[in-house]
Chain A
Amino acid sequence: MKKTLIISYLFLIAFVGSSFANEVNIFSARHYDSDVQLYEKFTAKTGIKVNVISGKSGALEKRIIEEGADSKADLYITADAGRLGAFEANLQGGLTSAAIKSAVPSNFRTSKWTGIAKRARIIYFAPERVSGAELAGLTYESLADPKWKGRLVIRSSNNIYNQSLVASLIKNNGKGKVADWSKGMVSNMARSPKGNDRAQILAVAAGEADLAVANTYYLALMLSGKKGPEQQAAAKKVKPFFPNQDGRGTHMNISGAGLVKSAPNKANAIKLVEFLLSEEAQNHIVNNTFEYPMIKGVSPHPLIVNMGLDFKQDLKTKVVNYGKRQADALEVMTAAGWK
């Protein structure tokens, strides 16, 4: 009898599930442990419970779409503007409060989604093998120059950071030019694209290549020692370079949150976004993920400060273009044979 009771109890909770009135539900493709701590702080402050389901962006988006009006998702959090832009049809306007508008510059948000933190996609080089003269005036565009033949590493074309970078190039230079550029990039690659951004930086440190394209926070992560002493030592062998300084500036991207169309807890979701943009939360983010703060008045992590803060950011190319030009970006890269 006892057994039957226990079993029926197990099945009962399977059916019923738990449900709280005061909650906010997050579908997160950016699931750092430090984010969880941040949500706990929010709950402590407001009493609003934060439920998270993390996963790969594609699967999360698909679930939201298929669940349709029944979806419990309030916020969709991801580490790339391109994702939010491409997903806009399933988001709703509402992130327009004064707090959000004053915190986030207009090129990093729409009414449906907003940036939470910034990252730059930059170039890393091996000072032993690349001279200052060679680097002078380096742009994303000039990475396709034949002088870098066999010296460049970058990850694969299905990576969203690359898709967003190429989308911004298409926005600025046109699809035709970027198609040629992609071919030049492929012929400059030191190896067939593999591994993540960190692996590209390590390849330069190990001498497999002279230049790597990767996001800013990866180098700081390695320098911090969180990846072990070997990678800390390896990171010291490469130097960051911020491209396009004479022109529109370095490519910027965001970690951001979008308000889901069917959001059952819209008000709570907006509260959470406002909290993520508060000084307290921003300090927590930059010190754990090594991103740049979205709001003024918060200093990035010292390791990021050391990489240099006085570079020119590309604030001209609105990040909303990353989603709009994503299909074009993928098309030109695939056509060029970019794996």
Chain B
Amino acid sequence: MTKYNIWFFSSIIIASIVALPIITVFLSFFSETSSYYSLLKNTFLYEYIFNSIIILFFVILITFFLGVISAYFLSFYEFPFSNFFSWALILAFAVPGYIYAFSIIAFFENYGTAFSLLTFLFGENNYNLVIPKIDGIMGAIFSISFSLFPYVYVLTRASFHYQSNNYIEVGKNLGLSSRETFFKIILPSARPAIVAGLALVSMECLSDFGTVSFFSINTLTTGIYNSWLSFDDLNTANQISFILLLFILFLFSIETFSRKEAKYHQPGRGFKPILKIKLVGKKALTPFIICSVILFVSFLFPVSQMIYWSIKFPKYFHNLNIINLNLNTLYLVLLASISIIIVSLLINYGGRVSKSKILNYLTNFSVSGYAIPGVILAVAFITFFSNISDILSENLNIKISKNIFIGSIFGLILAYFIRFFSLSFNGIKSSYEKINNSIDESAYLLGYSKVQTFSKIHIPHLRTNVILVMLLISLEVIKELPITLILRPFNFETFATQAYIYASQDLLEAAAIPSLFLIFWSSLLILLSSRYILSKKN
């Protein structure tokens, strides 16, 4: 029986807020389309779908290899700096795809950094014609792959880590070579984790806006943006969104399914931790080189390109209001993470004390905010509040200024809330479920009130997870681009928007400094959270 109490209603409210964009998109699917949709269907739509699929395919391929190979070496072998690599490889997360894209262009373009480097090393010559031009679809594939492969790495590594050594020993006793052990035992049992990682990569890849728009490639996501803005055709935008969402929901169900399966591979009785094989001399060289190359290409390359620019063009340092940018970022990070976490805690708690099934439905609903690309979320957000405000003022004569939601910090935080609620809600839920209900009963018997039980028993138990969730939200907020770009108020820039604005007006060298700050703060958050991530069981 569902109790219709305050917890029930607040859960419903939160669920509807989070589901706003998805509802807006679905509703408009059934409304009339303009002629643009048929034009689009005949000419561009296939190109959009084709480009999205090509990029997705290669990104999956590359992240699979990068993630699994690095996870394999770092889980089963010990070699020089292997402990360092195990967290340093996650740093690639700190470089968003669009910033990676800036570095690629800067390095490979005519008279770019590669040209300067060759001139410096070998004297003057026209190297432009021999330097490969990495741009367009290829550039996007590389940028997205290198910024997302840590998903596969982290999840695969965790799965390898909790693989019992017993299986591996059985394999050895059966006379399998180490290559056979890998392909027949290790890889199949890590499959759910790998699939989960790849599904996350795919979702982020499909929703990418910054990278593909920088390379001016038309994908489903930029198609939505263009039909919305250039052709003022919201229905078409929403219909392409619908196609994109089908893709994403499909991926999401794969991810959920794989995660459930992964749970069966948790350490049970008879678990023996993996004994790492120590590699020395020549044998250590291969894993060491592979890990170094991955670290270099994914993280050190974009960072050094940005540092090189900052030194070469120091004047842009004075043009930036660094203190302001830092404060703005801190402000958004604090507001977003605090409000999202407070609500997640309350809703989780409500679900617990009212033992309501609604919590489970909410979990499913809350995912929609994360699955939907940020740029579409921002579109739907503006549409929704603009329509609501119009309807209220026309029919009920209630005047609500659109400025409360559009172009205000409040609106921005609300949009972040929609986007990142599931991250926080599910993160806290997973650790809440580990607190046995009988503990609450005992607390009540000891005379604790509900509030005391929450603050003195639940909170300390949840603390680690809350901190981790806070770090992850902060990381996402710092890197977030499309929502902030579209919804931010006057005179308000973050590192992400500042870098993107400079880049879009052909001032890549000026984008270096805000990009570096963004990478610095993100790296710091990754370092802080890496010990939770690496030790986390799922």
Contact = CB atoms under 8 A, between A and B. Distances in A.
Given A70-B403, A195-B135, A15 B489 contact: no
Contacts of B128: 206-208
A67 B486 CA distance: 13
Interface centre among A54, A68, A227, A231 (most CB of B within 10 A): A54
Given A67-B386, A67-B406, A206-B110, A7 B229 contact: no
Interface centre among B489, B497, B505 (most CB of A within 10 A): B505
Contacts of A66: 382-383, 386, 402, 406
Given A15-B410, A59-B229, A67 B402 contact: yes
Contacts of A135: none
A194 B216 contact: yes
Interface string A36-72: 0000000000000001111110110111011110111
Nearest to A34: B319
Interface in A15-42: 15, 17, 25, 30-33
Contacts of A170: none
B228 interface: yes
A199 B407 contact: no
Interface in A57-95: 58-59, 61-63, 65-68, 70-72
B229 A51 contact: no
A10 interface: yes
A228 B338 contact: no
B435 to A, nearest CB: 25
A258 B485 CA distance: 22
Nearest to A56: B504
A10 B334 contact: yes
A17 B409 contact: yes
Contacts of A116: none
Contacts of B253: none
B216 to A, nearest CB: 6
B331 interface: yes
B319 A33 contact: yes
B136 interface: yes
Interface string B311-336: 01100000100000000000100110
Contacts of A233: 111
B430 interface: no
Nearest to A334: B43
B139 to A, nearest CB: 10
Nearest to A61: B229
A71 B389 CA distance: 13
B501 interface: yes
Interface in B94-129: 109-111, 115-116, 119, 126, 128-129
B48 to A, nearest CB: 13
Nearest to A201: B110
Given A68-B386, A195-B109, A53 B506 contact: no
A205 interface: yes
Contact of B408 (A17, A61, A207): A17
A14 interface: yes
A253 interface: no
Contacts of B166: none
B419 interface: no
B335 A72 contact: no
A173 interface: no
Contact of B485 (A17, A55, A199, A203): A55
A102 B383 CA distance: 41
A52 B409 contact: no
Nearest to B342: A7
B225 interface: yes
Contacts of A58: 225-226, 229-230
A67 B403 contact: yes
Nearest to B379: A62
Given A195-B109, A207-B128, A62 B229 contact: yes
A63 B486 contact: yes
A13 interface: yes
Given A31-B501, A70-B401, A62 B382 contact: yes
A14 B490 contact: no
- SS class of chain B's interface: helix, strand, loop or mixed? helix
Contact of B110 (A33, A62, A197, A234): A234
B286 to A, nearest CB: 37
Nearest to B401: A70
B398 to A, nearest CB: 14
Nearest to B492: A53
Contacts of B505: 30-32
Given A67-B407, A206-B129, A10 B111 contact: no
Contacts of B407: 53, 63, 67, 72
Nearest to A218: B506
B131 to A, nearest CB: 9
B119 A68 contact: no
Contacts of A33: 319, 510
Nearest to A235: B111
A231 to B, nearest CB: 5
B488 interface: yes
A230 interface: yes
Contacts of A11: 335, 339
Contact of B413 (A14, A25, A234): A14
B490 A198 contact: no
A194 B313 contact: no
A208 B225 contact: no
A202 interface: yes
B44 to A, nearest CB: 8
Contact of A228 (B313, B331, B413): B313
B491 interface: yes
A103 to B, nearest CB: 26
B506 A62 contact: no
Interface in B203-236: 216, 225-226, 228-230, 232
A230 B119 contact: yes
A187 interface: no
B490 A206 contact: no
28 contacts: A7-B338, A11-B339, A14-B408, A14-B409, A14-B413, A17-B408, A51-B490, A53-B490, A55-B485, A56-B504, A62-B229, A66-B386, A68-B390, A68-B402, A71-B402, A72-B403, A72-B407, A72-B490, A195-B109, A197-B506, A199-B110, A202-B111, A205-B110, A205-B111, A206-B126, A208-B128, A227-B509, A233-B111
Given A53-B490, A65-B232, 14 more contacts: A14-B335, A31-B501, A54-B501, A61-B229, A62-B382, A66-B383, A66-B406, A72-B490, A194-B216, A195-B109, A195-B135, A206-B128, A208-B110, A208-B128
Interface of B: 43, 109-111, 115-116, 119, 126, 128-129, 135-136, 216, 225-226, 228-230, 232, 312-313, 319, 331, 334-335, 338-339, 382-383, 386, 389-390, 401-403, 406-410, 413, 485-486, 488-492, 497, 501, 504-506, 509-510
